[in-house]
Amino acid sequence: MRRQLPILIVFVSGVFMIIQYFIPHESFEFIYEYAMDWIIIIGIFAMLLGLWSLTRVSVSKVQTKAPGWGFSVMTLIGLATMLFLGIYKGNKSIAEGTLFMDIFWNIYTPIQATMFALLAFYIASAAYRAFRARTVMSTILLVTALVIMLRLIPLGPLSGINQTLASWILTVPNMAAKRAIWIGIGLGATATCLKIIFGIERAYMGKD
């Protein structure tokens, strides 16, 4: 009951969803859309678990006065503020122009944009560390990355040659690499799904 029934549910719903894909009739189209809503709705309810987990971890840091517990207070204040602002006026709470959205635009957005911008620095340091001609493989990685980056550097007449080489790399070996990886992913992902559906892989369900 605790384990066998869920495994059976996975099997039945999985097989049904596979078959559904080949039936264009609208009754099955309806079932597909309904099933996708199941996933969304279950996910929405689970959000409460997430909020509880975040709160519990933060509160316990504060309670035990763990190092940096003061910062956890900020997390809790941020969370409580946004939850209150996001709920107290009904669905108007999240409209543009509310304090809720002001906080989003002026606290969340600059932080996420700056985190994203850190990549400009990290891509440089990663290139410095990784692109050493140690082995054949790392040399190939290094040389192709250089050729592609050199597109933007004026090299006089060499630029023309580099341009041709760069667009050849992008359209021939790069294309081949992508296709092969995609095919591999397709087979691997399908096999993983089948292992779940047929109950061969069931660790995610927990034991006991």
Partner 1 sequence: MRYKNLRSSLVLTFFLFFLILPLSQILAQDDTLPPPPPTEVKAGDTPNDNGHSITITWKLSGDDGAGKKNVVAYEILRSESPTGEFVVRGMVPAGNNTYQDRGAKEKEDKNYFPPHKDFYYKVRAKTLNSYSESGVAGPAVAYGQWFHIGKLPVFVGTLAFTIMVLAFISLARKGKEFYVRPLAGIDAVDDAIGRATEMGRPILYILGLGSAADIATIASFTILNRIAKKTAEHKTKIIVPCNDPIVMSVAQETVKAGYLDAGRPDMYKEENIFYLTSMQFAYVAAVNGIMLREKTATNFYLGKFYAESLILAETGSVAGSIQISGTDELAQIPFFVAATDFTLIGEELYAASAYLGREPLLLGALKAQDLAKAIVMLSLALGALAASFHFGFFLKLFTVQM
Partner 2 sequence: MVTDLTTAIWNTVAVFLTFCIFSFLYKDNPFYKIAEHIVVGVSAGYFAALLLWDGLVPKLWEPVVKQGKWYYLIPGFLGLLMWTRFSKRYSWISRFSIAFYMGIATGVAVPLYVQNYVLRQLISTMLPVHFQNLTGIFNLLIILGVLCSLIYFFFSKEHKGAMGLAARVGIWNLMVGFGAGFGLTVMGRVSLLINRVQFLENYFPSLIRFIR
Partner 3 sequence: MTFYERLMQLDRRWIYLAIAIAVIIPVLLPFKVPVYITPEVRSVYNFVENTQPGEIIFLAIDYDPNAMAELHPMAKSIMRQAFSKNIKLIISALSQNGPGMAEQLISQISKEYNKKNGVDYVYLGYKPYFGIVILAMGQNYRIPFPTDYYGTPLDSLPMMDGVRNYDDVKGIIDIGGGNITEYWINYANGRYKAKVALGVTGVMTADYYPFLQSGQVFGILGGLKGASEYERLTKREGEATEGMSIQTVAHLVVIAFILIGNIGFFMSKKKK
Least Cβ distance, residue 163 to partner 3 (angstroms): 6
Rounded-to-integer distance, Cα 70 and Cα 59, Å: 10
**205: Cα within 13 Å, side-chain hemisphere:** 18
- 67 CB burial (10 A radius; 0-12, 13-18, 19+): exposed
153 binds, among partner 3, partner 2, partner 1, none (CB under 5 to 8 A by kind): partner 3
Q: Does 136 bind partner 1 (CB under 8 A)?
A: no
Which residue's CB is nearer to partner 3, number 55 or number 163?
A: 163
Smallest distance, Å, CB 42 to partner 1?
Answer: 7
Question: Residue 97: which of partner 2, partner 1, partner 3, none does it interact with, CB under 5 to 8 A by kind?
Answer: none
Contact residues for partner 3, defined by CB under 8 A: 120-121, 123-125, 127-129, 131-134, 142, 145-146, 149-156, 159-160, 163, 167, 170-171
Shortest Cβ 130–partner 3 spacing (Å): 9
Indicate whether 59 belongs to the interface with partner 2 (CB under 8 A): no
Residues 158-197 that bind partner 1 (CB under 8 A): 178, 181-185, 187-196
Give the side-chain half-sphere CA count within 13 A for 183.
Answer: 5
Binding residues for partner 1 restricted to 21-40, rule: CB under 8 A: 21-27, 29, 39
By CB under 8 A, is residue 69 in contact with partner 1? Answer: no
